[in-house]
């Protein structure tokens, strides 16, 4: 029977930190400017007066205190309010490839694997910079990896779906190992003029090396993948309508629906029980008692969601050691969130400890991975 391991992870963190106070000051300045500029329309009821935000509101609603971004000057400019990124020439690394390569090199080093032994590269993320050529092929080329590469997108669940994709390919014998990269410039699809969501996302890149497990683990920090489980159910409650057909419908170009938008309360109500049920069913199918799980590395979208998911599964609220939170520092980083938590906090696990890596998001999509520490 083929056994498979996660042998290395990597993390790229942008240099610029954007705090809640900085974000709120900029947003509230925009609100003042908007309300003054549209005073007459507000008086007649043609448009609604915008309401200000606060750092206290953001932290209570989400648990987010700050986020890393590729550029904050553009975000804080009330006349621009989005990251200001330099246009890359076609002979330069793209934005996503550049950050992805940094995370990938760290994962490869941590895995102690030779480049020649990597057979494939998958970029699994929410927000691809372009349709083609694939960012994965660009990263493959930059790292001099032979074999094949492709991009995939299952929104915030992309990483766990990517893990199962590689797991299945290794199980089938088509490859020996693969590199998965999750580059996320989430600030690029965020509506910084929307009080309900302008604080949600940050930028980051993660990477994971997955390979066939022989009798001896690749290193002391390797994890056997025992089982994976995926689930999707269509919902419009988290959506982004930006795409290549937008220019064919000119009336919609530049509208708010071409950025991230969600019905947050409905997402919370519907996703939390689905995630908890899937995890419990997955454990039961593998005859694993919940009490035998030593850690859960959950998607980092909202601290309140994670607390409730843990409570549904465990019967009580989980400690931060058991279910680490990184979104207070990184915010929601889409597909990378659960991988950041795993990368930064898996050193608490001991040999043979069982843990869960779980992500969930737009789709709806949910992915769960059960791992066992080898070293």
DSSP annotation of 361:
E
Asked whether the CA dihedral 309, 313, 318, 321 is positive or negative, the reply is: negative
User: Phi and psi (nearest 5°) for 141?
Assistant: -65, -40
How far apart are alpha carbons 38 and 41 in whole angstroms?
5
Task: State the alpha helices, DSSP H only, in 49-134.
Answer: 55-62, 73-76, 95-111
The dihedrals phi and psi of 230, each to the nearest 5 degrees, come to: -120, 155
* Rounded CA separation 131/243 (Å): 9
Report the SS3 class of residue 244. Answer: coil
Q: Using DSSP, state whether 51 is helix, strand or coil.
A: coil
Distance (Å, whole) CA 312 – CA 257: 33
Active-site residue, 156 included? yes
Annotated active-site residue in 156, 186, 197, 358:
156
Asked whether the beta carbons of 308 and 287 are under 8 A apart, the reply is no
Supply the residues annotated as catalytic: 156
């Amino acid at each position: 029977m083929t056994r498979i391991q996660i042998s290395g992870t990597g993390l790229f963190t942008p240099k610029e930190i954007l705090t809640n106070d900085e974000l709120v000051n900029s947003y509230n300045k925009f609100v003042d400017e908007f309300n003054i500029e549209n005073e007459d329309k507000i008086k007649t009821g043609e448009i609604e007066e915008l309401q200000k935000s606060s750092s206290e509101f953001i932290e209570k609603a989400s648990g987010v205190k700050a986020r890393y971004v590729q550029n904050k000057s553009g975000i804080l400019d009330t006349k621009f309010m989005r990251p200001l990124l330099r246009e890359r020439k076609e002979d330069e690394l793209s934005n996503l490839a550049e950050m992805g390569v940094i995370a990938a090199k760290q994962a490869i080093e941590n895995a102690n694997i030779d480049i020649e032994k990597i057979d494939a590269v998958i970029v699994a993320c929410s927000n691809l910079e372009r349709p083609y050529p694939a960012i994965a092929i660009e990263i493959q080329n930059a790292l001099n990896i032979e074999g094949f590469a492709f991009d995939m997108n299952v929104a915030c669940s992309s990483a766990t779906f990517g893990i199962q994709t590689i797991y299945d390919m290794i199980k089938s014998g088509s490859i020996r190992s693969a590199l998965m990269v999750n580059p996320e410039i989430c600030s690029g699809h965020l509506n910084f003029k929307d009080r309900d969501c302008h604080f949600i996302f940050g930028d980051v890149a993660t990477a994971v090396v997955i390979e066939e497990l022989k009798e001896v683990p690749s290193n002391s920090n390797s994890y056997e993948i025992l089982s994976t489980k995926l689930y999707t159910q269509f919902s419009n409650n988290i959506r982004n309508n930006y795409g290549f057909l937008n220019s064919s419908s000119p009336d919609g170009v530049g509208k708010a629906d071409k950025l991230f938008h969600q019905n947050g309360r409905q997402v919370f109500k519907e996703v939390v029980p689905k995630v908890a049920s899937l995890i419990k069913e997955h454990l039961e199918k593998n005859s694993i008692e919940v009490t035998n799980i030593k850690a859960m590395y959950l998607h980092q979208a909202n601290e309140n969601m994670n607390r409730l998911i843990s409570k549904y599964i465990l019967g009580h609220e989980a400690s931060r050691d058991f279910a680490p939170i990184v979104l207070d520092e990184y915010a929601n980083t889409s597909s990378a969130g659960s991988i950041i938590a795993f990368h930064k906090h898996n050193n608490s696990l001991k040999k043979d400890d069982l843990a869960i890596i779980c992500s969930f998001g737009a789709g709806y999509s949910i992915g769960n991975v059960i791992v066992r520490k080898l070293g």
